[in-house]
Amino acid sequence: MSLRGSIAGAALLVMGAPGAASAQETLNLYCSVQVEWCQAVANTFSRTTGVRVNMTQKGSGETLAQIRAEAQNPRGDVWFGGTGDPHLVMAEEGLSEEYKSPKLEQLNAWAVKQAQDSKYRTVGVYAGILGIGFNPELLKKKNLPAPSCWADLTKPEYKGEVQMANPASSGTAYVAIATLVQLMGEEQAFDFLKKMHANVNAYPRSGTGPIKAVARGETSVSVSFIHDAVTEDLAGLPAKAVPPCEGTGMEVGSMSIVKGARNMESAKKFYEWALTPDAQRLGAEVGKQFHTPSNKSTPLPERAPRLDQVKIINYDFAKYGSSAERGRLIARWEKEVGSLP
Ligand code: PLP
């Protein structure tokens, strides 16, 4: 079981410095990056402001499902991180609060576009590039070449060697499906996914599950964000990732305030803090996660994959972040691919 799988959904309570905030100041934080970064964000915000933080970490699709289920009685105040598409769905479904940060002018264009596409109901906090992960040692042992293109993932030689997360629970896997649809056209993309299914040994719940399985030597190949392989590589584990030769998609990891949040002041305080370079550098420095931060003044981590060095499609965030399109593609995947033996 992955680290993420083993603690997903667990709540962490962080007490702020005594006396630094009134007894009522609390923040219920939903967090969809990896737990190390979530904890760093919760701890540092709490220490800096005195706000008591209850943090729950779950994948992007799972958090959207929870926010939908709680719509009549919101329990979360802010949702930090996770792929941008479900944040856009949340905005469209009226589940997030409109909020225009004065820090928008400090952010990269892709992060501002995310805010504009949502009518200022979400904002970009980081970007990441989708790729193919692999374990070079395991591949060598099996006498298999390292994959470098999407097309490789359907080759019979990789039978039983590939993992991708489940797109209903994982934002990473949904980005993969939306990327393939945009690259190939929908019918070819579903043909591809069906062929790749013959090589897939599991569709885990969490987007980082497959690259952690690669790093542990449980599977040779994964569909993963490239920065997630960097995290494993830096931990000394045999994981690498490449951008597929045909081109690939990207995520705009996002943040939203829950509509009707009980702790609206704390939510806005957190939102403003999370857009500062001091908060954004925690991702790499403490969380060991190497995204491109959205604030232009946050130092770009040395090991972060460079957006301008990869062939990235013009990902249509508004279309693939619409509730109808996301719901339709996930349902089609479940019916035509996920249900296959
Ligand atoms: N963890 C990291 C490091 C990520 O970059 C992302 C994507 O935003 C996620 C987790 C999201 O996880 P999931 O695919 O389970 O929604």
Domain ranges of the chain: 3-128+252-307, 129-249+324-338
Give residue 16's pLDDT.
55
Decide if 148 contacts 241 (C-beta within 8 A): no
How far is the C-alpha of 23 from the C-alpha of 230, rounded, in Å? 41
Helices and strands per DSSP (H, E), number in the chain: 15, 11
2 band by pLDDT with thresholds 50, 70 and 90: very low
Mean pLDDT of the chain: 94
In DSSP terms, which residues pair with 221 in a beta bridge?
A: 134, 162
Domain 3-128+252-307 and domain 129-249+324-338 have a common topology: yes
pLDDT one-digit tens code per residue, 90-120: 999 999 999 999 999 999 999 999 999 999 9
CA 42 to chain centroid: 18
pLDDT at 40 over 70: yes
Complex confidence, ipTM: 0.97
CA of 22 to the centre of ligand 1 (A): 33
User: Once rounded to an integer, what is the mean pLDDT over residues 18-37?
Assistant: 81
CATH of domain 129-249+324-338: 3.40.190.10
Side-chain half-sphere CA neighbours of 163 within 13 A = 26
Q: Which fold has domain 3-128+252-307?
A: D-Maltodextrin-Binding Protein; domain 2 (3.40.190)
Residue 301 Cβ < 6 Å to ligand 1: no
Ligand 1 atom closest to Cα of residue 83: 8
Enumerate residues 6+ apart whose C-beta is below 8 A from 68.
93, 95
Q: What separation in angstroms does the CA of 271 have from each of 8, 16, 122?
A: 23, 17, 10
In this predicted structure, the answer to whether residue 206 has a pLDDT above a threshold of 80 is yes
Give pLDDT, residue 19.
Answer: 45
Non-local CB neighbours of 223 within 8 Å, separated by 6+ positions: 130, 132, 133, 153, 162, 163, 164, 165, 172, 173, 176, 210
CA–CA dist 5, 205 (Å, integer): 8
Q: Separation of 19 CA from ligand 1 center, angstroms?
A: 35
Indicate the pLDDT class of residue 14, thresholds 50, 70 and 90. Answer: low
Residue with token string 């908060």: 279
Q: Does ligand 1 come within 6 angstroms of the Cβ of 86?
A: no
> What pTM was estimated for this model as a whole?
0.93
For residue 204 and ligand 1, the question of a CB distance below 6 A is answered with: no
